[in-house]
Chains A and B, each alone.
Chain A
Amino acid sequence: MSGAPAPSTSSAVAVRVEDLGMVYPGGVRALEGVDLEVRDGEFLAVLGLSGSGKSTLLRCINRLVNPTEGKVWIFGDEITALSGGDLRSVRRRVAMIFQQFNLVRRHTVLNNVLSGSLGRARLLPSLMLTFPQSERDRARANLARVGLEDRASSRADALSGGQQQRVAVARALMQEPRLILADEPVASLDPALRHSVMRHIEALNREEGLTVICSLHDIDLVERYATRLVALRAGRVVWEGLPQQFDRTTFKEIYGEDAEPASNTGF
C-alpha cells in the first residue's frame, strides 16, 4: 500500500469498516480484508475496474448485501450487528444513489421523492401512497433544489436520465441523511450531463457537510470532486490517498499495466 495517510483532521468518524469480506453464494469473492475509515464531511471516491468490488463495498455499508466477514460502523452504530427496526433506523440516515437511478418508473416524480421518507412514515397511509402535507411540502422543496419542481406530477419514466438521477438525489434528500452512498451515480448519463448531477452531490458535501462515499471511474470527476480516494483491485484496497497524489504510476497500479487513462486531460 502506498500514498499518504488520511488527512489529520480531528472530526468524528462517519464510517468505519473493519476486515470486511464478502463471498457471494456460488463462491465468487467480491471483497477481502477491507479496512477503511471515512471521516465526517469527507468526499471519498472509490476507484477500481468494474468487478473490483466497488458496488459490493457500498452495498455492504448499508447492508443491501450482507458481508460474510468483518464489521461496519456508521456514526458509532455497528450496522453489521443490527437487524429489523434497528437496522432500518440506521439506514434512514444513509441515503443511496444508484447508477441506474432505480426510481419507481410508473409512479409520479413527487411520489418517488416522497418514498425517501418511508423510513419514518406511518405504515398504513404510506401503503396507500398517502403522505402528510408537511412531507409533501418538503418533497416539493427538495425537487426545487434539484431544479425539477415543475415535473412533480410527471411519471418518473417520462424524464431523461439526468433528470431521473436528480429525482433520485431529491429522494435521498428526503431522508435528511448524514451519509450518502453513491454507486457510479453518473456512469449511465451523457458525459455532458455528468456535472449537473455531481454538482448537487458536491453541494450537499460542501455546504451541508454530508459525508459522501462515491464510486467513480472517470478520473476527471474524481480529481474535481473527491477529497480523498481509495482504490480497489480484486476486492482489496490497493491504494489510498489524496487526489493530488494520484498519478500515472498509481493509475497503472490500480487498473493494471495495460490500462490507459480514458482522457488525457487528467495528467
Chain B
Amino acid sequence: MAAGWRKGLARLQSIGIDAVLIATLILMVELLVVAFSGRRGATGLLLTAEQILDLLNYVWAAVAGIILAGSWNLFYRTLGASPGRALVRGVPEWESELEWTQTLRGWFTAIFIEFTFFAGWLITELDLYDFLTKFGKAADIVRGLAHPSASVLHEGLVLLVQTIFLAFMATAFAIPVAFVLAFPSARNLTRGTFLSRTAYTVSRTFMNFVRAVEPLVWALIFISWVGIGPFAGVLALWVHSVAALTKLYSEQIESIDTGPMDAITATGAGTLQVLRFGVVPQVVPPFLSFTIYRWDINVRMSTIIGFVGGGGIGYILKPRVDLGEWGEVGTLVLLIAGTVWLMDIISAKIRERIV
C-alpha cells in the first residue's frame, strides 16, 4: 500500500516539475514573440517589459504545460525520461550512456537555458546601444569623483569617526544577545527535550524573520521610533547583527566536537557547566573572528543606513548626491573606501591570529 502511494506521489512530483518547466518555456517563447511583433501600447510607444509580462497568457501556458508534462510522463518509454522524472527517480539506465543531443530531455534543457537568456535580456531591458553611446552624463560624476573637493573633508572625517563608532556599538551590543541566543539555535544542543526543541524552532524562526528584513527597513522603523540620527542607525545595525551573529555562532556550535561535552556530562555536571566546559572553550575563538568580520560589515552597511537618516557619513553623502556635487561626493566616497579597505586588512590580520 505504502509503496504504491509513494510511487504515485513521485509520479505527481515529476509531472509537477515538468509542468512548471514546460509552462515557463512556453511563456518565454510567447514573451519573445510579443516583443518582436512590434506591437505598440495605448500611448503609441513600444511595449515595456512590464507591459509585456502583464499581457502573457499564464493560464493557457499552465494548462498546456500540464497536458504536455502529463503526456511526456505517460509516454516516457518512447520519448525518454522527462526532466522531472530524471530529477525525482534518477536517469533511467537505458539513457545513461546517451549524449545530451540524443535525448529529448537534453534538447529541452538546452533550449530552456537558451530562452532563459533571451527572456532575461528582454525582461531586464538590457541595452548595449545605451551602454556604449550614452556615457556623457555619467562622465560628470566620474570626473567629480576623480577630483575630490577638500571643502567637505573636515565634516567627512568627523562623521567617519561617528560611522566607525556606530558600527562598533551595534556590534558590541549584538555580541551578548547573539551569544545567548546561539545555544537554543544550535541543532545539536536541542535534540533532547520537547522544551529544547521548541526553543530551537522559536529562536530559528525569529532569527530568520529578523534577518530577512533589510537593515534599511529596520533603520526606517527605528528612525520613527527614536528619531533621525546615529542612535537609530546603531539600533538598526544591532538588530541585524544579532540575527546574523546568532546564525554564525549557532552554526559554529553545531560543528563542535561533542566528546568534551560527553566527558563533562559523565562527571555529573549540570547543563550550564556542560556548556561552559564542553562547548564554550571550543567556540570562543571562531566567535571572535566572526564578530570582527561583522564589525567590518557594519561599517560598510552604516553608509547606506546613513542615507535614510541613520547617522554617520552616509547622512551627508545623500544630499550631495541629490544636488549633484560630485566633487564632494568623491571625497566622501574615498573616505569610506579607505576605511573599509583598512578595516578589511586589520580584521583579516586579527582573524588570522585567532583561529
Q: Which residues of A contact B (CB under 8 A)?
A: 59, 62, 64, 88-96, 98, 100-107, 115-121, 123, 126-127, 129, 168, 171, 174-175, 181
Question: Known contacts being A104-B260, A107-B277, is A115 close to B267, with CB within 8 Å?
Answer: yes
Question: 25 A-B pairs, CB-CB below 8 angstroms?
Answer: A64-B265, A64-B266, A88-B268, A90-B268, A91-B266, A95-B266, A96-B266, A98-B263, A100-B259, A101-B259, A102-B262, A104-B278, A105-B281, A115-B269, A118-B267, A118-B268, A118-B269, A118-B270, A118-B273, A119-B269, A120-B268, A126-B276, A127-B276, A168-B263, A181-B266
Please report the C-alpha to C-alpha distance between residue A126 and residue B265 in the assembled complex, in whole angstroms: 14
**Judging by beta carbons under 8 Å apart, are B267 and A116 in contact?**
yes
- Using Cβ atoms and an 8 Å threshold, which residues of chain A touch B266? 62, 64, 91, 94-96, 181
**Judging by beta carbons under 8 Å apart, are B270 and A88 in contact?**
yes
Q: Which residues of B contact A (CB under 8 A)?
A: 259-260, 262-270, 272-273, 276-278, 281-282, 285
**Judging by beta carbons under 8 Å apart, are B277 and A119 in contact?**
no
- Using Cβ atoms and an 8 Å threshold, which residues of chain A touch B269? 88, 115, 118-119
* Minimum distance in angstroms from B275 CB to a CB of chain A: 9
Please report the C-alpha to C-alpha distance between residue A175 and residue B273 in the assembled complex, in whole angstroms: 15
Please report the C-alpha to C-alpha distance between residue A96 and residue B285 in the assembled complex, in whole angstroms: 28
- Using Cβ atoms and an 8 Å threshold, which residues of chain A touch B260? 102-105
- Using Cβ atoms and an 8 Å threshold, which residues of chain A touch B262? 59, 64, 96, 98, 102
A119 touches which of B268, B272, B276 (Cβ 8 Å): B268
- Using Cβ atoms and an 8 Å threshold, which residues of chain A touch B268? 88-93, 118-120, 175
* Minimum distance in angstroms from B296 CB to a CB of chain A: 25
Please report the C-alpha to C-alpha distance between residue A104 and residue B282 in the assembled complex, in whole angstroms: 8
B277 touches which of A64, A92, A93, A118 (Cβ 8 Å): A118
**Judging by beta carbons under 8 Å apart, are A123 and B270 in contact?**
yes
* Minimum distance in angstroms from A15 CB to a CB of chain B: 15
Pairs A-B, 6 closest by C-beta atoms: A119-B268, A92-B268, A102-B259, A118-B269, A102-B263, A91-B268
- Using Cβ atoms and an 8 Å threshold, which residues of chain A touch B259? 98, 100-102
Between B266, B273, B278, B281, the greatest number of chain A beta carbons within 10 A of the residue's beta carbon is seen for B266
Between B260, B276, B281, the greatest number of chain A beta carbons within 10 A of the residue's beta carbon is seen for B260
Q: Who on chain A is nearest to B281 by CB?
A: A106
Please report the C-alpha to C-alpha distance between residue A21 and residue B250 in the assembled complex, in whole angstroms: 33
* Minimum distance in angstroms from A93 CB to a CB of chain B: 8
**Judging by beta carbons under 8 Å apart, are A127 and B264 in contact?**
no
Please report the C-alpha to C-alpha distance between residue A102 and residue B259 in the assembled complex, in whole angstroms: 5
Known: A95-B266, A127-B273. 19 other contacts (CB 8 A): A64-B262, A88-B268, A91-B265, A92-B267, A94-B266, A96-B263, A96-B266, A104-B260, A104-B277, A104-B281, A105-B260, A115-B263, A116-B267, A117-B267, A118-B268, A118-B269, A118-B277, A119-B268, A175-B268
* Minimum distance in angstroms from A209 CB to a CB of chain B: 21
Q: Who on chain B is nearest to A116 by CB?
A: B267
* Minimum distance in angstroms from B152 CB to a CB of chain A: 48
- Using Cβ atoms and an 8 Å threshold, which residues of chain B touch A117? 267
**Judging by beta carbons under 8 Å apart, are A115 and B272 in contact?**
no
- Using Cβ atoms and an 8 Å threshold, which residues of chain B touch A107? 277, 281
* Minimum distance in angstroms from B55 CB to a CB of chain A: 52
**Judging by beta carbons under 8 Å apart, are A106 and B264 in contact?**
no
- Using Cβ atoms and an 8 Å threshold, which residues of chain B touch A94? 266
* Minimum distance in angstroms from B323 CB to a CB of chain A: 55
Q: Who on chain B is nearest to A127 by CB?
A: B276
* Minimum distance in angstroms from A195 CB to a CB of chain B: 23
Question: Known contacts being A64-B262, A98-B259, is A106 close to B277, with CB within 8 Å?
Answer: no
- Using Cβ atoms and an 8 Å threshold, which residues of chain A touch B282? 105-106
- Using Cβ atoms and an 8 Å threshold, which residues of chain A touch B270? 88, 118, 123
**Judging by beta carbons under 8 Å apart, are B281 and A115 in contact?**
no
**Judging by beta carbons under 8 Å apart, are A123 and B273 in contact?**
yes
Please report the C-alpha to C-alpha distance between residue A102 and residue B281 in the assembled complex, in whole angstroms: 13
* Minimum distance in angstroms from B49 CB to a CB of chain A: 50
Question: Known contacts being A102-B260, A105-B281, is A95 close to B273, with CB within 8 Å?
Answer: no
Please report the C-alpha to C-alpha distance between residue A261 and residue B277 in the assembled complex, in whole angstroms: 40
* Minimum distance in angstroms from A17 CB to a CB of chain B: 17
Between B272, B278, B281, the greatest number of chain A beta carbons within 10 A of the residue's beta carbon is seen for B281
Please report the C-alpha to C-alpha distance between residue A119 and residue B268 in the assembled complex, in whole angstroms: 5
* Minimum distance in angstroms from B213 CB to a CB of chain A: 35
- Using Cβ atoms and an 8 Å threshold, which residues of chain A touch B276? 126-127, 129
Q: Who on chain A is nearest to B269 by CB?
A: A118
Q: Who on chain B is nearest to A181 by CB?
A: B266
**Judging by beta carbons under 8 Å apart, are B265 and A175 in contact?**
no
- Using Cβ atoms and an 8 Å threshold, which residues of chain B touch A168? 263
Q: Who on chain B is nearest to A65 by CB?
A: B262
- Using Cβ atoms and an 8 Å threshold, which residues of chain B touch A92? 267-268
Question: Known contacts being A105-B281, A115-B277, A118-B277, is A123 close to B267, with CB within 8 Å?
Answer: no
- Using Cβ atoms and an 8 Å threshold, which residues of chain A touch B267? 91-92, 95, 115-119, 171, 174-175
Please report the C-alpha to C-alpha distance between residue A116 and residue B278 in the assembled complex, in whole angstroms: 12
Between A115, A120, A121, the greatest number of chain B beta carbons within 10 A of the residue's beta carbon is seen for A115
Please report the C-alpha to C-alpha distance between residue A174 and residue B266 in the assembled complex, in whole angstroms: 12
Q: Who on chain A is nearest to B285 by CB?
A: A106
Q: Who on chain B is nearest to A106 by CB?
A: B281
Q: Who on chain B is nearest to A84 by CB?
A: B270
